[in-house]
């Protein structure tokens, strides 16, 4: 499998595309006016404690107050009691050092924790956690053991009695194959970084930012570079030079794969990335077989419906359904990554009678989701053919980043038909005629509604004029949406 990363940098926006075998898999977007804040550490001030929810609102200097639950407060978690009261540890007006775990989404503020951590290329450092872990994506047990032993050796060297320090570390997926010198350099870097953070924690008042994560194009080098990566192309010379300096210090083996892209053709036109992004904003996803997916994103959950469409198969109905579901499993896994859909996801596979077919489709979905770096949990296939799953959400979906609710339908996804609006006009005319005496009324409406009133509904208009004893005139308002109208007394 070949993998490339394309980085498009402009003064107002940075976009990163992860392409596998010529097909877009993931998109990351960061805008200068609305940067993601996951990983940032703030000095916050508790503005309200909610004992009924075991949570609190914290002002960290953002537009909306942020939210922290009792389970995310380190001192409460250390008590080991399920019934510890949040009021025993924090109070209104208290200063609290917190880290963002989830960006603000919709009307909700950022989600916070006091379990602080900072990251490097190979490690995540967690002060006071007392835990040494290895990424679950490193599945070779010998390699996991080697890394754990190597880290224990490095950490014992830093203590006087040779014991393990009270702090915690997690070896990231990128640490697979890393040597002792590389891990030791990362430990030293994280220790220096944490000392700088501690100095700011003591010095800066609330609310203020203590530590800000790297910009997107730099985080890409730290978080998205995986074994098998062939090339990283960047279309900004300044950003390329910064990434090259970063790689020189921390990722020397990556420098040969970095490439400045000066081409006249926009970098996102390579591999049709722009077209793929546009398609990812639609509800319908076509499958090669002729089947399709319908993806609907709501406030509570995302639903995915699979249909055979034009695919009629070659053998029998059960085989056709099975093949469509198998293809859909791979396609929807890619769509979840591409669209960055999170939270609860309900997948409505086409009903399969054969239990073996259901097992194979579920296994195909699990294999396809193994490539996803977001944490996922999948249930079995129900009797109705439904699969429930969750995918960890830390940032807004692609649709929420690029789009806003339609001002015509207000996010409903549909408009009242001209026929429906015509009948609403008739009811409003009757209401006005009963309340006020007038010999003439003027209806202002959209072109589609006026056309129907003068054509299909002309007989009804004539009957209404006779009933109320007044003439009715119509005027097209170009600025009105299909649902808008006004009835004016003349």
For residues 5 and 233, the answer to whether their CB atoms sit within 8 Å is yes
Question: Residue 352 belongs to what domain range?
Answer: 283-402
Chain centroid offset of residue 356 CA: 33
Model confidence at 17: pLDDT above 90: yes
Higher pLDDT, 380 or 152: 152
- What does the block give as tokens for 264? 């006249």
Residue at 182 is within a domain: no
Q: Is residue 313 located within the same domain as residue 388?
A: yes
Q: Is 32 exposed, middle or buried (0-12, 13-18, 19+ CB in 10 A)?
A: exposed
Model confidence at 229: pLDDT above 90: no
Q: Are strands 118-119 and 111-113 parallel, antiparallel or unpaired?
A: unpaired
Q: Is residue 387 located within the same domain as residue 297?
A: yes
Q: Write down the residue that tokens 């609330």 correspond to.
A: 206
Q: Is residue 293 located within the same domain as residue 388?
A: yes
Q: Which pLDDT band holds residue 78 (cuts at 50, 70, 90)? A: low
Q: Is residue 299 located within the same domain as residue 365?
A: yes
The predicted-structure confidence for 270-285, as pLDDT tens digits, reads as follows 899 999 999 999 999 9
The predicted-structure confidence for 141-191, as pLDDT tens digits, reads as follows 999 999 999 999 999 887 777 788 889 999 998 888 888 888 998 899 899
Q: Is residue 331 located within the same domain as residue 374?
A: yes
Q: Is 60 exposed, middle or buried (0-12, 13-18, 19+ CB in 10 A)?
A: buried
Model confidence at 80: pLDDT above 80: no
- For residue 404, CA distances in Å to 21, 108, 184, 398 come to 32, 16, 46, 11
- CATH number of the domain that residue 340 is part of: 3.40.630
Q: Is residue 396 located within the same domain as residue 456?
A: no
The predicted-structure confidence for 408-434, as pLDDT tens digits, reads as follows 888 888 899 999 999 999 999 999 999
- What does the block give as tokens for 223? 């978080």
Residue at 371 is within a domain: yes
Chain centroid offset of residue 192 CA: 32
Q: Is residue 448 located within the same domain as residue 350?
A: no
Q: Please report the DSSP string for 428-476 in residue order.
A: HHHHHHHHS--SEEEEEE-HHHHHHHHTTTHHHHHHHHHHHTSEEEEEE
pLDDT at position 314: 61
User: Which of these three, 82, 116, 150, is where a domain ends?
Assistant: 116
Give the CA radius of gyration of the chain: 29
- The three-class DSSP label of residue 156 is helix
Helix axis angle for 237-250 and 216-223, nearest 10°, is: 40
Model confidence at 202: pLDDT above 80: yes
- The three-class DSSP label of residue 35 is coil
Q: Is 8 exposed, middle or buried (0-12, 13-18, 19+ CB in 10 A)?
A: buried
pLDDT at position 223: 82
**What letter would DSSP give residue 165?**
P
Count: domains in the chain: 3
**Average pLDDT for residues 311-320, to the nearest whole number?**
73
pLDDT at position 374: 85
Residue at 20 is within a domain: no
From the list 267, 223, 212, the residue with the least C-alpha distance to 246 is: 223
- CATH number of the domain that residue 69 is part of: 2.40.50.140
Residue at 79 is within a domain: yes
User: Which of these three, 66, 96, 116, is where a domain ends?
Assistant: 116
Q: Write down the residue that tokens 């990231």 correspond to.
A: 172
The predicted-structure confidence for 28-60, as pLDDT tens digits, reads as follows 999 988 788 899 999 999 999 998 888 999 999
Residue at 18 is within a domain: no
**Average pLDDT for residues 321-343, to the nearest whole number?**
94
Q: Which pLDDT band holds residue 371 (cuts at 50, 70, 90)? A: confident
Q: Is residue 397 located within the same domain as residue 422?
A: no
- What does the block give as tokens for 257? 């794969």
Q: Is residue 378 located within the same domain as residue 459?
A: no
Looking at every residue in the chain, the average pLDDT score rounds to 89
Q: Is residue 428 located within the same domain as residue 348?
A: no
pTM of full prediction above 0.85: no
pLDDT at position 422: 97
**Average pLDDT for residues 121-133, to the nearest whole number?**
90
pLDDT at position 459: 95
User: Which of these three, 94, 116, 138, is where a domain ends?
Assistant: 116
The predicted-structure confidence for 426-484, as pLDDT tens digits, reads as follows 999 999 999 998 899 999 999 999 999 999 999 999 999 999 999 999 999 999 999 99
Q: What percent of the chain has a predicted confidence (pLDDT) above 90?
A: 60
**Average pLDDT for residues 346-362, to the nearest whole number?**
91
- CATH number of the domain that residue 434 is part of: 3.40.1260.20
Residue at 21 is within a domain: no
For residues 74 and 56, the answer to whether their CB atoms sit within 8 Å is no
Q: Is residue 391 located within the same domain as residue 312?
A: yes
Residue at 310 is within a domain: yes
Q: Which pLDDT band holds residue 207 (cuts at 50, 70, 90)? A: very high
Q: Is residue 305 located within the same domain as residue 377?
A: yes
From the list 194, 209, 263, the residue with the least C-alpha distance to 233 is: 263
For residues 135 and 178, the answer to whether their CB atoms sit within 8 Å is no
**Average pLDDT for residues 96-122, to the nearest whole number?**
90
Residue at 392 is within a domain: yes
Q: Could you give the strand order of the β-sheet that contains 123-126, starting from the edge strand earlier in sequence?
A: 118-119, 123-126, 168-171, 132-134
Q: Are strands 440-445 and 471-476 parallel, antiparallel or unpaired?
A: parallel
């Amino acid at each position: 499998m070949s993998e490339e990363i394309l980085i498009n940098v402009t003064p107002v926006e940075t976009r990163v595309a992860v392409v596998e075998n010529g097909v877009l898999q993931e998109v990351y977007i960061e805008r200068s006016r609305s940067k993601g804040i996951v990983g940032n550490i703030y000095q916050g001030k508790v503005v309200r404690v909610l004992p009924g929810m075991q949570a609190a609102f914290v002002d960290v200097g953002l537009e909306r107050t942020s939210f922290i639950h009792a389970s995310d407060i380190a001192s409460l978690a250390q008590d080991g009691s399920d019934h510890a009261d949040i009021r025993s540890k924090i109070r209104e007006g208290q200063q609290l050092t917190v880290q963002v775990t989830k960006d603000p989404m919709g009307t909700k503020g950022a989600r916070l924790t006091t379990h602080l951590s900072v990251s490097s290329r190979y490690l995540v450092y967690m002060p006071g956690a007392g835990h040494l872990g290895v990424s679950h994506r490193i599945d070779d047990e010998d390699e996991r053991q080697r890394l754990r032993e190597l880290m224990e050796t490095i950490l014992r060297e830093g203590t006087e009695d040779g014991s393990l320090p009270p702090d915690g570390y997690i070896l990231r997926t990128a640490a697979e194959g890393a040597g002792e010198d590389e891990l030791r350099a990362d430990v030293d870097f994280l220790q220096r970084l944490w000392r700088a953070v501690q100095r700011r924690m003591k010095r800066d008042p609330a609310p203020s930012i203590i530590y800000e994560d790297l910009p997107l194009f730099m985080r890409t080098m730290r978080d998205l570079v995986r074994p098998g990566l062939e090339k990283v192309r960047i279309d900004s010379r300044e950003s390329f030079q910064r990434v090259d300096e970063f790689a020189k210090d921390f990722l020397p083996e990556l420098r040969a794969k970095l490439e400045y892209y000066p081409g006249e053709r926009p970098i996102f036109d390579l591999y049709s990335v722009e077209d793929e992004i546009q398609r990812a904003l639609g509800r319908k996803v076509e499958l090669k077989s002729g089947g399709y997916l319908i993806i609907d994103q709501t406030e509570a959950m995302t639903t995915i419906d699979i249909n055979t469409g034009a695919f009629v198969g070659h053998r029998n109905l059960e085989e056709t359904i099975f093949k469509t579901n198998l293809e859909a499993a791979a396609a929807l896994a890619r769509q979840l990554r591409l669209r960055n859909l999170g939270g609860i996801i309900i997948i409505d596979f086409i009903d399969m009678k054969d239990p073996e077919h259901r097992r194979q489709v579920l296994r195909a979905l699990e294999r396809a989701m193994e490539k996803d770096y977001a944490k996922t949990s999948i249930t079995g296939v129900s009797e109705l053919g439904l699969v429930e799953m969750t995918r960890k959400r830390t940032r807004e979906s692609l649709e929420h980043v690029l789009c806003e609710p339609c001002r015509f339908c207000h996010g409903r996804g549909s408009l009242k038909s001209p026929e429906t609006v015509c009948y609403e006009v008739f009811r409003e005319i009757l209401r006005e005629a009963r309340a006020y005496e007038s010999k003439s009324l003027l209806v202002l409406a959209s072109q589609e509604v006026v056309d129907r009133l003068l054509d299909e509904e002309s007989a009804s208009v004539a009957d209404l004029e006779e009933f109320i004893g007044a003439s009715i005139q119509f005027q097209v308002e170009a600025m009105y949406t299909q649902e808008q109208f006004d009835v004016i007394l003349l």
